[in-house]
Amino acid sequence: MAPSVPRTRAAAALRMKQIALDNQGRTIRRLRAQLATDRRGLAATKKELKETQVALEASHKVIAGLTEIGLSMSKKIEKMKVKKQLVRANHVECHQKFQARIHEAEDSMQAQHLLIEALVDEKDSLFQTIHGLQEANNAPSPFDDDWEEEPEEEPEEEEIEDIPLGEGEIDDEYDIF
């Protein structure tokens, strides 16, 4: 039995090495399969990353465009504010000029009314003087007895109301502030 023991041991050792090599082969195949799976996952992740990067760059361009639009709108809003202030100032100035013209017209109408009253009073005084002179001279009256003096009618004055400041033609439709 002595010669078979070393053979058995050598065969066993060889068998053990074969088993180890088989195990290493399975491990290598399993690791290669896992590596291939990881590479496919990595390729998919890399593709997603590239798509995300493209989307991010597009998003940055959109944000830059919107920022530029926002700045442009801010400038336009500032211009509109200035224009609105100028329109309001112009409106106030026109309103004041219009009120001044109204007051001048009222004053002129009052002066004309006083002048008319003075002329009517002078006309009545002249008629009385003429009538007195005719009576003093025993002259016939040039006026018929049925002549009646028209009753004095005071002309109706149209009251012109002051237009309150703040009302008028300005349209605050675009008032956004």
Q: What is the dihedral of CA 37, 39, 43, 46, to 10 degrees?
A: 120
pLDDT recorded at residue 93? 95
Handedness of CA 70, 76, 80, 81 (dihedral sign): positive
Residue 148 lies in a domain: no
Residue 149: inside a domain: no
Q: What is the pTM of this model?
A: 0.41
**Cβ(99)–Cβ(163) below 8 Å:** yes
What pLDDT does 135 receive?
A: 85
122 falls within a domain: yes
In a domain, 62, yes or no: yes
Tens digits of per-residue pLDDT, 16-39? Answer: 999 999 999 999 999 999 999 999
Give a yes or no: residue 69 inside a domain: yes
Rg of the chain (C-alpha set): 57
Instruction: Let me know if residue 161 belongs to a domain.
Output: yes
Dist. CA 47–CA 53, nearest whole Å: 10
Enclosing domain of residue 22: 4-142+154-174
> Structural domain tally of the chain?
1
Cα dist. 93→87, 100, 107, 166 in Å? 10, 11, 21, 12
Residue 113 lies in a domain: yes
Q: Exposed, middle or buried, 91 (CB in 10 Å: 0-12/13-18/19+)?
A: middle
* Residue 79 domain flag: yes
pLDDT per position as a tens digit, 81-138: 999 999 999 999 999 999 999 999 999 999 999 999 999 999 999 999 988 888 888 8
Q: Which residue has the tokens 């009222």?
A: 106
* pLDDT band at residue 140 under the 50/70/90 scheme: low
